C-alpha cells in the first residue's frame, strides 16, 4: 500500500487519473493538493473537490496551492480543457478546501508518514518546490515523486521545446529534479503512446456514475476538438506508473530544465549522475489493461 498524495490542476486528464487512484487498492490516497495550471487555482481547487464529491469521496482532504509559479504567471489551458478547466459542469462543491496551504499540507503528510509518502505530481511543480524550500529535510521525508512533465526526446506541447507543466514553472521543475528525492519523470515521450480515441468513448458510457461523468467529459472534449483524432492520456499514465511501476522502462539521468529564452521549460537529460528516472518506453497493453480496469471500477 503506497501512502499517496496527489498534486493536481484538474484538467480533464487529471480527472481520469483521480478516479484511477481512488479505485486502486495499491494506493492509500491521503490527500489532494491543487495548483494553478490548466485553470486558475481557485477553479482547479473547485474542480478537484467537485470531482471527488462526484466520485462519492467526501472525506478526502483537499488543500489549495499556488496561484502563480515561482516566477511569472501560469499560462492557462482553456483552449484544451475548456473554460472552467473541465468540459463538464460539476455541481457546486459541498466541502471546502483545508485552511493549510498545499505545500504545508504536503509536509504535514510527509511528517505523518515519515519517509513513506509518494507524491504524484500532475500539474506545474510550484507546490512541491515550495515544500522543498520550506523543509531542508525534504529528501529524507518523501519516498518518491512521480511527475507528469517534460519532453526529453520529443517536441513539447506548448512550444516546440516545452511540455505544459514544466513550461508553466521551470524553476520549480529544476528544484524538483535537484532535490535528491527519486523522481519518476513521465513525459510526453511516453504519454504520446497512450491515446484515447472516439472509438473508446462507448466504453466509458457505463451505468456507474463516476465513469459516466468522465465519459460525458471526454465526449465533450472530442466535440470541442473536432480536428483531433486522439487524446494523450498524460496524467493517467503517471498514475498508472504509481500503481504499477512496471508499465514504464526508465533510464536514470540528471535532468536540466531550461529557465530562460525561447526554450524555457525544455527538459534535457544530461547524464547518469542524477535522481531522475526518465521514462523512455511504455508497455501500452499493460497500461490500458490497468486504465480500463480502474476507470471502469474493477480492481
Ligand atoms: O502536458 C500535459 C500536462 O499538462 C497534463 O498534466 C495536463 O493536465 C496539463 O496539466
Ligand atoms: Ca494536469
Q: What is the pTM (predicted TM-score) of this model?
A: 0.98
pLDDT of residue 298: 55
The 10s digit of each residue's pLDDT in 204-236 is 988 788 999 999 999 999 999 999 999 999 999
pLDDT digits (tens, 9 = 90+) for 6-37: 999 999 999 999 999 999 999 999 999 999 99
Q: Is 18 in the pocket of ligand 1 (CB under 6 A)?
A: no
Residue 51 above 50 pLDDT?
A: yes
Q: Which domain holds residue 97?
A: 2-295
Q: Quick one: what percent of the chain has pLDDT higher than 70?
A: 99
Tens digit of each residue's pLDDT (9 = 90 or more) over 137-195: 999 999 999 999 999 999 999 999 999 999 999 999 999 999 999 999 999 999 999 99
The percentage of residues in the chain with a pLDDT greater than 90, rounded to a whole number, is 95
Supply the DSSP string of 206-235, one letter for each residue: SS-HHHHHHHHHHHHHHHH-TT-SEEE-HH
Domains: count for the chain: 1
For 277, the 3-state DSSP assignment is: strand
**Residue 50 exposed, middle or buried by CB count within 10 Å (0-12, 13-18, 19+):** buried
Instruction: Give dist(CA 46, CA 50) in Å, integer.
Output: 6
Helix (H) or strand (E) holding 148, with range, is strand 142-148
Residue 237 CA to ligand 1 center (angstroms) comes to 11
Question: How high is the pLDDT of residue 23?
Answer: 96
- Answer positive or negative: Cα dihedral of 159, 161, 166, 167: negative
Lowest mean pLDDT segment, chosen from 47-51, 122-126, 130-134, 273-277: 273-277
- Best residue among 20, 36, 149, 162 to mutate for probing ligand 1's pocket (most ligand atoms within 8 Å of CB) is 149
Q: What is the CATH number of the domain that holds 211?
A: 3.90.245.10
Alpha-carbon distances of 178 from 78, 172, 256, 262, rounded to whole Å: 31, 10, 9, 23
Q: How far is the CA of 70 from the centre of ligand 1 (A)?
A: 18
- Find out whether the beta carbon of 107 lies less than 6 Å from any atom of ligand 1: no
Q: Where are the alpha helices (DSSP H) in 55-152?
A: 78-81, 102-112, 126-134, 138-141
pLDDT at 299: 42
- Of 13, 113, 276, 240, the C-alpha closest to 105 is 113
Ligand 1 pocket test, candidate residues 122, 150, 218, most atoms within 8 A of CB: 122
Report pLDDT digits (tens) over 86-119: 999 999 999 999 999 999 999 999 999 989 999 9
Instruction: Tell me how far apart the alpha carbons of residues 240 and 230 are, in angstroms, rounded to a whole number.
Output: 19
254 is catalytic: no
Q: What is the average pLDDT across 74-85?
A: 94
Task: Locate 128 and state its grid cell.
Answer: 512541491
Please identify which of the residues 81, 103, 225, 275 carries the catalytic annotation.
225
**Helix ranges restricted to H, 225-283:** 234-243
Return the C-alpha cell found at 113.
508518514
User: By C-alpha distance, which of 202, 213, 196, 206 is closest to 287?
Assistant: 196
Determine the pLDDT at residue 207.
79
For residue 94, the CA-to-ligand 1 centroid distance in Å is 26
CB-ligand 1 contact for 74 (6 Å cutoff): no
Q: How far apart, in whole angstroms, are the C-alpha atoms of residue 123 and residue 76?
A: 11
Ligand 1 atom index nearest CA of 124: 10
Q: Is it the case that residue 271 has pLDDT exceeding 90?
A: no
Q: How far apart are CA 127 and CA 200, in angstroms?
A: 34
* 3-class DSSP assignment, residue 45: helix
How far, in Å, is the centroid of ligand 1 from the Cα of 109? 24
Q: Which atom of ligand 1 is nearest to the CA of 11?
A: 8
φ and ψ at residue 4, rounded to 5 degrees? -125, 140
Average of per-residue pLDDT values in the chain:
96
Amino acid at each position: 500500500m503506497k501512502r499517496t498524495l496527489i498534486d493536481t490542476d484538474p484538467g480533464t486528464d487529471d480527472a481520469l487519473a483521480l478516479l484511477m487512484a481512488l479505485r486502486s487498492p495499491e494506493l492509500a490516497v491521503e490527500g489532494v493538493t491543487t495548483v494553478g495550471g490548466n485553470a486558475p487555482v481557485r477553479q482547479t481547487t473547485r474542480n478537484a473537490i467537485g470531482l471527488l464529491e462526484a466520485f462519492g469521496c467526501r472525506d478526502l482532504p483537499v488543500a489549495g496551492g499556488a496561484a502563480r509559479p515561482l516566477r511569472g504567471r501560469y499560462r492557462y489551458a482553456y483552449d484544451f480543457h475548456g473554460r472552467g478547466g473541465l468540459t463538464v459542469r460539476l455541481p457546486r462543491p459541498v466541502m471546502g478546501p483545508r485552511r493549510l496551504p498545499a505545500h504545508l499540507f504536503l509536509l504535514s503528510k510527509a511528517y505523518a508518514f515519515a519517509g513513506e509518502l509518494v507524491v504524484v505530481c500532475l500539474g506545474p511543480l510550484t507546490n512541491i518546490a515550495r515544500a522543498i524550500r520550506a523543509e531542508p529535510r525534504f529528501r529524507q521525508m518523501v519516498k518518491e515523486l512521480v511527475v507528469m512533465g517534460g519532453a526529453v526526446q520529443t517536441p513539447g506541447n506548448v512550444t516546440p521545446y516545452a511540455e505544459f507543466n514544466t513550461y508553466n514553472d521551470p524553476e520549480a521543475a529544476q528544484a524538483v529534479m535537484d532535490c535528491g528525492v527519486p523522481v519518476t519523470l513521465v513525459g510526453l515521450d511516453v504519454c504520446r503512446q497512450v491515446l484515447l480515441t472516439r472509438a473508446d468513448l462507448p466504453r466509458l458510457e457505463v451505468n456507474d456514475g463516476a465513469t459516466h461523468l468522465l465519459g460525458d467529459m471526454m465526449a465533450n472534449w472530442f466535440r470541442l476538438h473536432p480536428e483531433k483524432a486522439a487524446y494523450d492520456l498524460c496524467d493517467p499514465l503517471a498514475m498508472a506508473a504509481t500503481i504499477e511501476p512496471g508499465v514504464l522502462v526508465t533510464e536514470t539521468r540528471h535532468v536540466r530544465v531550461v529557465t530562460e529564452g525561447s526554450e524555457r521549460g525544455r527538459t534535457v537529460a544530461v547524464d547518469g549522475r542524477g535522481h531522475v528516472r526518465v521514462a523512455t518506453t511504455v508497455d501500452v497493453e499493460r497500461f490500458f489493461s490497468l486504465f480500463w480496469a480502474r476507470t471502469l471500477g474493477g480492481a
